[in-house]
Amino acid sequence: MFALDFHTHNMFAPAGSAIVSLPRELLLNPEDFSPVPGALHSAGLHPWWTEDDVDRMLSGLSALLRHSQVVAVGECGLDKLRGASLSCQCEVFARQVELASEHSLPMTIHCVKAFGELLHLHKTLRPATRWTVHGFRGGPKLAEQLLDAGMDLSFGLHHNADSLRLTPEHRRHFETDDSGVSLADVLRAAGF
Ligand SMILES: [Zn+2]
């Protein structure tokens, strides 16, 4: 079966086989972005990057999102273990939700230990475009909560099999992220 690698940092992924997340350097210098024909990218301000140069990166992001080969905003989101304070992360994230809506682009979400806050933001911000939680490893109860809220899920090599099973096919993605394994390995681990 053909599956798109929904989220990777592998800049060498064959064009069109993956949504490749752009590095921080390109948010700082968007004029350096020169994708190969057919390549798909996402661009976002990672929660780990929320301590410095935030305004400059948000303006770089805004420029990158005008490019037709940037098909998603992300990864962005909330991380209680790294980055600026959670309130600052929420603010940076909310600004990206606005950009996503302005450009009608879906969002790829990084969330570590902040699912309560993420669900709250989804409820209060009422985003105009789809959110997909990437690298989802949570159990079925959390999976159900996120799906019920309207979010989709993307699974990597390490995931909870019950969560994967209960996620409807059209709301389920697979990804290699920064694992270095192939998407075929991820799909095999998922039972395909
Ligand atoms: Zn990633």
CA 156 to chain centre: 12
pLDDT of 1 reads 62
Ligand 1 centroid vs 166 CA: distance in angstroms?
A: 23
Ligand 1 centroid vs 147 CA: distance in angstroms?
A: 20
Question: Per residue in 92-135, pLDDT tens?
Answer: 999 999 999 999 999 999 999 999 999 999 999 999 999 999 99
SS3 17: coil
Ligand 1 centroid vs 177 CA: distance in angstroms?
A: 5
Ligand 1 centroid vs 144 CA: distance in angstroms?
A: 22
Question: Taking the complete model, does pTM exceed 0.95, yes or no?
Answer: yes
Q: What is the residue extent of each domain of the chain?
A: 5-189
HSE, CB side, 13 Å, CA atoms: give it for residue 158: 6
Q: 5-189 belongs to which homologous superfamily? A: Metal-dependent hydrolases (3.20.20.140)
